[in-house]
Each structure stands twice: as structure tokens, then as C-alpha cells.
Amino acid sequence: MPFVFLGQREASKLKHQYSIDEMKHREALMRARLEDEKAQRQMLEEHKLAFIERLNGPFLFNSMYSEDVEGNKLSSLPGVDELLETYPFRPLTYKDKFVIICLNIFEYGLKQQEKRMAELDTFNECIQDAIRENQEQGKLKVTKFEEKHLLNLNAIREESDLPNIEKKLIECSDDITDLFNVLMTLEMQLVEQLEKSPESQHSADFLLDPGGSWGAYETRWTSTREPNKGLSVMQPVFAVSGMAQCRDLENHHHEKILEIAINTLEKILKNEMDEDLPDDVRALFVDKDTIVNAVGASHDIHLLKIDNREDELVTGINSWCAHLLDKIHREEIVRNRKRVKEINQYIDHMQSELDNLECGDIIDI
């Protein structure tokens, strides 16, 4: 096959094209990386809304050892790696079991988050239904009043007898007062309906869920609908049995580590230790108190990490419930004040119209 010699110009074009292709490839990789980071951030935010962030893997387990100096030293003891590291065709290790519990809490939490949001939507729909129903009742009362009031005003304008005019004016004034009382009664009924249930029946206590296998949390609704009303009350129920299982697992692991450490100390004291230990690890085995304290310190750090994560979970849902109730009450206060103002303005307008009619017609007569 004959050789093909490219001219300098063609070679420059080819080199330039290679540079462009390489630049496009790098840009595509960067876009893909940025999109992946964005997706990861969005997913993390969704997990935070469910209060289960970083429970979908070994994050909690790894955090227990991130600041555990003594625990990391003890991990090098013979036999400890079998409790922590996963090997094919071997029973589940402490780490495996711990991560499985976290994953179950995570999955349960995601399902309960979806359920909670759906129930919250239902709760808000019930509130709006109750408000709309109350407004329709008020509109019906106003419509009937205005029909009668218009007839009375026309009758007053056509009436020439002063006693009859005064009688009809009193009747109109009484009708206005009755309308005010009816509208305010409807509003007070709505206020009681919307406020009594969340205030009196809501509980922010976090209880053990007897039906939950891993116990993240569960939001339940206790229906308090009155006939033809659309109001429900939400009562969050927290289950923390999953974290309790993590603590039980850590306690069992602590006993195993302590047993290995004591056996290792006895071998060292009897010069029966076959394996070589790093100097910083061997320094822990000067006597029984030293090694027991080291194992205990590691155990305390692990329990503290578990307790802190449980507190985050509980505090998160507790804060969410508190803010939700506060939002419901603030919105109800604004709605109530606006409605009362509307009623007063309407009643004042009707009374002012009647007063002006009274003065003008009586003077004309």
C-alpha cells in the first residue's frame, strides 16, 4: 500500500480538529459531572426533608470510627477484622448488620415521607373545604338578607305614613343586627373547627411504633371530621426502634471486642502472642485497666454517634410539627381577622345606608 504524505496545511487542520474534539470531550465530561453533582444535591435535600439523610449506606457506621482513635487501633487486633470486614460466603459482620438496619430505616423513612405529604395535602384540602362550605353558608344568608332588605327599602321610599316608616326602619335595623350575629356565629364555628383539633389533639411525643420493623417514623392522621365538615388532625408518631437496634448491635460488638482485647492481653503477658502488633496498639496492653478503658472509650464514642443521629431524627420531625402548627395558626389568625373585618365593613355599610335613608326620607316627608 503506497504511503500518503499529508501537506503541512492538511496536518494542521487535522491537529486542530483533534484539539476541538478533545475540548468537546472534556466539556461533555464536565457537564456530566456537574449534572451528577446537582442530582446528588437534590437527592440529599429530599432525604433531609424525610430526616433520613446519609442513612442509605455506611455513613453512620463510618462516622463512629472517624473520631475513634482507640477503636481504629483496636481494629488491628487479630480477629477484629472478621467482625468488621465482609468476606464472601461468611456470616454477616457487625458492619453488614449495622448498615442493613440503617438502610431499612432509610427505606421506611422514604415511604413515610410520601405518606406524610399525601396526608398533609388531604389535611389542607379539608381545611379549604371547611372554609368554602362556611363561606357558601354566609353568602346564602347575605343573599336572603339583601333580597328582603331591598324590598323593605323600596317599601320605605313608597311609604308616606311616618309611623309605618319608623316601624320598617326598626325592622331593617333588626335585620342588619341579626345578619351580623349570624355571620359572626358562622365565623366562630369555623374558628373552633379549624383550631380545636390541632391544638388539643396534636402530640409531638415520639412513641415507639409497635408495628414498625425498623422504626424511622410514622405520621398518622386522627380523623376528627364533624358531619359535613372537612377537617382532619395530624398526629405524628415517631418510632425509634431502628436506632435501638443499632445500640443493641454496638453493645454486642463491644462485648466481643472486650473479649478479644482481654484474651490478647493475657497472651502478651504470657509471651504467647504470635502476631506482631503496631507500637501504638501494643501500648494499650500495659495492664487490664488501660485496655478496658480504651475499649470503653471507643464504645462510648460509638453510642454517642448513634444517640446524636437519633436526636437529629427526633428533633427534625419535632421541629417540623411545631413549624407546621405555627403556620396553621398564623394563617388562621390572618384569615379570621380578614373575615371579621369584611363582616364589620359590610354591616357598617348597610347600617350607614339605612341611616342616610332614614334621615333623608323623614326630612322629605
pLDDT tens digits, one per residue of 23-73: 888 888 898 888 888 888 888 888 898 889 999 999 999 999 999 999 999
347 and 288, same domain (yes or no): yes
Tell me the DSSP string of 177-198.
Answer: HHHHHHHHHHHHHHHHHHHHHH
For the chain, where are the alpha helices, taking DSSP H only? 8-49, 59-66, 69-74, 81-84, 94-158, 162-201, 241-269, 279-282, 288-364
CA dist list (Å): 233 to 122, 129, 244, 255:
10, 14, 29, 46
- Domain range holding 118? 59-364
pLDDT band at 221 (very low <50, low <70, confident <90, very high): very low
Residues 128 and 29 both lie in one domain: no
Residue 27 CA to residue 264 CA, distance in Å, equals 56
pTM above 0.75, yes or no: no
Mark whether 11 and 134 lie in a shared domain. Answer: no
pLDDT tens digits, residue range 150-206?
Answer: 999 888 888 888 888 889 999 999 999 999 999 999 999 999 888 765 543 443 333
CA distances from 24 to 13, 29, 358 (A): 16, 9, 85
Residues 189, 329 within the same domain:
yes
Task: Specify if 183 maps to a domain.
Answer: yes
Domain total for the chain? 2
Q: Is residue 19 part of a domain?
A: yes
Report the alpha-carbon distance of residue 169 to residue 173 in Å, rounded.
6
| DSSP assignment of 264-299 | HHHHHHTT---S---HHHHGGGSSHHHHHHHHHHHH
Question: Do 145 and 279 share a domain, yes or no?
Answer: yes
The reply to whether 1 falls in a domain is no
Matching residue, cell 417514623 = 217
